[in-house]
Chains A and B, each alone.
Chain A
Amino acid sequence: MKRYSIFSLVRNAVSHHKDWPKAWRSPDPKAEYDVVIVGGGGHGLATAYYLAKNHGITNVAVIEKGWLGGGNTGRNTTIIRSNYLWDESAHLYEHSLKLYEGLSQELNYNIMLSQRGVLNLAHNQHDLRELSRRISANRLNGIDSEFLTPADIKNMVPLMDVSPEARYPVMGASLQKRGGVARHDAVAWGYARAADDRGVDIIQQCEVTGILREGGAVTGVETTRGTIKAKKVALAVAGHTSMLAQMADVRLPITSHPLQAMVSEPVKPALDCVVMSNAVHGYISQSDRGEMVMGAGIDTMTGYTQRGALPVVEELQRAIVCLFPSFSRLRLMRQWGGIVDTCPDASPIVSKTPVGGLYVNGGWGTGGFKATPGSGWVYAHTIARDEAHELNAPFALERFTTGALIDEHGAAAVAH
């Protein structure tokens, strides 16, 4: 891998940027791999990278139906934070945030991490109590989290309407200063380049159509580019987790829903942090290009339409305009949807399955992007050792049988 640096930039400027090497190869699939990862989004690529780096397993293929990061990795609102309520989630997301903090250097790829602070708003007494509880829980877990009064919020976000007359009065907020945003495509591309450099084959435009099994264990996958044998098969396909698992007769407690996001026309810098509100179903930040990036709650009906329904757009815009009256003058530029797979307890599944050599990583619901590095780290461990890492052991499929659910609806249900 040719390293990116100020010198390589200057060198390539001299040749008019025509000689940059390809960031990764695009090899034909081999007949057999030790591990086949299905899904070339952030989670799949991170998993491949950590399989190679942490466990020395490099005979690995990442198989992607479309293009890298074209699913939820490229459709989310790029928010990163770790202020989850329960210990299990806090540890997992905090591990992820710590990996994010060193990721640009580690991958030699600028993921444009901007730790601009994430505000979670409280609009009523119940919100306030829940928020205080969460702030205390975060601090006990060593996660930075502080309480802001409406006056503090006004000082930090002057455009927000925090007056008592507001339609959704703002009574307080939690602030995680280390939270922020990152460039989502860069996370996928950075992991892809680094994994490829360690020998991982990245195969795009190749759809998995079947999972081959023999005597209760996987033996490979059937794809649109032929049969590929594999000792282990690992799913990382976000919204379509149930459908892939179905190919191996594994039932999952997952339902898929469209989740929408949209951006306004670009404007000058006006909002320098991330603002989220569970109660009014909206979250907003300003991108480096100046667009206001806004995300909504999920469409309640099960669905695979990568667009979403209009009532959700109206609901989101109502919330944003009430919080930021001046944004009513902005025009919406683009809107899109992604399919998120949600679990009954709003926590993910990173787990072995009843089928030998088949692993599942899904159910991240509305908040998988922030978990990308941590998810890849623990999933690689689970695949390599055939047992869970201590961080993802609580997120096993068995929890739905034992009843040890991790109820994160308060921290995860809407916002991400």
Chain B
Amino acid sequence: MLIIDCPYCGKRDEAEFHYGGEAHIVRPENPSELSDEAWAEYLFMRSNTKGRFLERWVHSEGCRRWFNMARNTANNEVEAVYLMGETPPKEVSK
């Protein structure tokens, strides 16, 4: 069971949260000009890292707000929590 430190509510058990997948995937600025390959990259291709992974979570049964988290996917250690729109803290940025 993960204990996730929601930046708005504090530490809660993982069952209160929903997972939102890889973080920092930016929606293309000019979708109409995008090639099929670039669409595929944006929609489907994921880094699927084993180790430190930057991802999005939502505290769906609490404040219902989204935030970012750095977690090690090999051992589930939560290394950092930071707000949407923020860049990852220095200690977890690659």
Query: Is B44 within 8 A of A300, CB to CB?
Result: no
Q: How large is the interface on A (under 10, 10 to 19, 20 to 34, 35 or more residues)?
A: 20 to 34
Give A231 to B23 CA distance when docked, in angstroms. 38
Query: Is B40 within 8 A of A309, CB to CB?
Result: no
Residues from chain B with Cβ under 8 Å of A134 in the complex: none
Query: Is A400 within 8 A of B76, CB to CB?
Result: no
Query: Is B45 within 8 A of A305, CB to CB?
Result: no
Query: Is A254 within 8 A of B48, CB to CB?
Result: yes
Query: Is B76 within 8 A of A302, CB to CB?
Result: no
Interface size on B, residues (CB 8 A): 28
* Distance from A279 Cβ to chain B, minimum over Cβ atoms (Å): 19
A302: which of B2, B40, B53 is its contact (CB, 8 Å)? B53
Interface status of B61 (Cβ within 8 A of chain A): no
CB nearest neighbor in B for A345: B44
- CB within 8 Å of B: which of A395-414? 400-403
CB nearest neighbor in A for B45: A251
Interface status of A255 (Cβ within 8 A of chain B): yes
Residues from chain A with Cβ under 8 Å of B39 in the complex: 401
Given A243-B50, A401-B36: A302 touches B21 (CB 8 Å cut-off) = yes
Residues from chain B with Cβ under 8 Å of A303 in the complex: 73, 76
Query: Is A311 within 8 A of B50, CB to CB?
Result: no
Interface status of A344 (Cβ within 8 A of chain B): yes
Given A240-B50, A309-B2, A401-B36: A255 touches B15 (CB 8 Å cut-off) = no
Query: Is A400 within 8 A of B44, CB to CB?
Result: yes
- CB within 8 Å of A: which of B45-85? 45-50, 53, 55, 71, 73-76
Give A255 to B55 CA distance when docked, in angstroms. 12
Residues from chain B with Cβ under 8 Å of A401 in the complex: 36-37, 39-40
CB nearest neighbor in A for B18: A300
B1: which of A251, A309, A402 is its contact (CB, 8 Å)? A309
Query: Is B14 within 8 A of A309, CB to CB?
Result: yes
* Distance from B70 Cβ to chain A, minimum over Cβ atoms (Å): 13
- 18 other contacts beyond A243-B48, A310-B1, with CB at 8 A cut-off? A252-B45, A252-B48, A254-B48, A255-B46, A256-B50, A301-B55, A301-B73, A302-B19, A302-B49, A302-B53, A303-B73, A303-B76, A304-B50, A305-B73, A305-B75, A311-B14, A344-B43, A401-B37
A-B interface, 6 closest residue pairs, ranked by CB to CB distance from nearest: A253-B44, A242-B48, A401-B40, A251-B45, A300-B19, A301-B19
14 A-B residue pairs with Cβ-Cβ distance under 8 Å, sorted by A, are A252-B45, A253-B40, A254-B48, A256-B48, A301-B19, A302-B19, A303-B73, A304-B74, A309-B1, A309-B14, A344-B43, A400-B40, A400-B45, A401-B36
User: Interface residues, chain B, CB within 8 Å of chain A?
Assistant: 1-2, 14-15, 18-19, 21-22, 36-37, 39-41, 43-50, 53, 55, 71, 73-76
User: Interface residues, chain A, CB within 8 Å of chain B?
Assistant: 240, 242-243, 251-256, 300-305, 309-311, 341, 344, 400-403
